[in-house]
Structure 1
């Protein structure tokens, strides 16, 4: 990207001026102010703002629902106006001022809207609460004269209609009455450390500050999301090779990477940090991830290896995983290889759903185990090919379709039973 673009006016809304083109395989540095803190992140051009706020900056108060701009759960303030974080690419927000629900108020000094939501029991499960708070703030800041009877229509941009809905309207009505000239500005915006912050000279979480003027063009440390994993995978495989040979494969990252379908080692920084890429096809969707694997535990006595992996796709998808591999000798001289992974998905790949994500991950580990067995026996891997990736995609799609047919048949049987009983 070029220097920060000027922002120009198009009617009532400022939008970023065009900047230099970013190729699909490249990433771009974007600088904006989030809740009073200026931060720079390096993102793929198709990464949307919602994922960057949650996965890169740790601001998980911005919830993602439909990811089509319909439900309103991801509402934030962009330059003072409500915007859907799932409809904005992060690269569009260069130079913008963004306020999330974390910036509305603090635990010790809540915004009047937060106080009113609590007083009227307008929270319920809490999933819609951030969107409702930011949407109602935008409404009362720009149209404080909105009549109480007009609130249901004025607040209709956020779709939740649970049993807390009347409480939400009552809370907004109370604040509108208390502040007829407009609500107080967000009170939680102040300089603070952000998870994943990458601006030059800024302190990284858990690391030393970079020298001023140095950029971090590539990921050099894996940081797993604090949110629950998208899928948890456990796969146990029986290998014919003895445990010592299997362990030698697990500790050779170049050979280990070739055991995973579509993966390859690109560069090793040291014995614990390795950069690589992996390609996988799911039907018509082809994903190509590039990222970092970082060993966090290596126990040669128990033949146990743990590492964290993190990667992104130029289409805006991102994945991270906490992976444990444990090899145990079996009475017949072979090895039992146990693989456990907590997998985190965001962006386009997350839309496949937990079930498919778990199934694909299990199949990958099954084929990985076969590759480890081959490498332990022969010292190389010959079968990790495009054909294997095709079998993976076809198998996952076939199982997903079969599951859908089984569920449809079960629904038909249930309806038939209800009809008979009535």
Structure 2
């Protein structure tokens, strides 16, 4: 990081990974103290501001993401990756959750930046994700000594097609709580302050996700964003359930004031059995083409597609008898894969779960993604963000 006139200049790579877009920053280029680093990143994104008009953020939770990367200190990994969800309306970066979509971008970045030796036809990138303290494996297609960008693989929520990148989350169970089922039960009963209770399944795989039945909160599972907005109180009830579940397993302190932007975990998803529905792009999805309908809530709003880490948790939950996702599964669902119907289309996940003593292990949970480098350059941060006498990292 350099001081140029009245600005700091920080090298930045903008990348799309899956249905997310964010900035990849090298840890060597950032202040060493976390509070200084976060002030710089918030200013880089233009937060707090819902539009992020004075920064690189895109004004949505899907485009307000940061990946901090550097060499891994572990011999089992090629690169270290820390994910941060940059708040739109608060001076907060949440490092509690992870993001599989941005992990896809990090895998591609690692190959192109030489963190791992390129091999054909697939280069396996072992990413140590500091958020969950697990290794994620990105399988990057390579041809003719170069990353293969062109291909016929497409994902819902991203126009066009390109080469497929498989992202595997082996042994992702218990990333935050130590157990795939944090409470030890496939379902639990959550009671809200006004006395009504809801059945939930809490799953810890890649991220901690709370699953509820769509019908329990007055929904069908086919909703798009505008549909949910029309159902009075549904988002409020969903948020109350999320917070109550988080407190039940100790992720949220009982005395803390909580909002969707201040506490990204746990995530929450409502599910339903397969039905015919129409996507946000107007495409018709047949009930015969999906195994389950699911809607993922991110920072208080409906996700335009479906989060990768959420799909890992959903795939795991669907294979455990008695969970809410398992109850909603199609009778014809495969034992090793899952087709998720979400607002933008379908998401395919491969899953292999096995019993291990009184719990479960995730042997494989792999998702097909695409990614692309969009831009390299320098981001300029006013020097007023950091005091002149504070020591910052120098390249």
Q: Would you tell me which structure has more helix in proportion to its own residues?
A: 1
Superposition TM-score tier, normalisation by shorter sequence: under 0.3
Q: TM-score with structure 1 length normalisation?
A: 0.25
Q: TM-score with structure 2 length normalisation?
A: 0.26
In our comparison, the structure showing a higher alpha carbon Rg is: 1
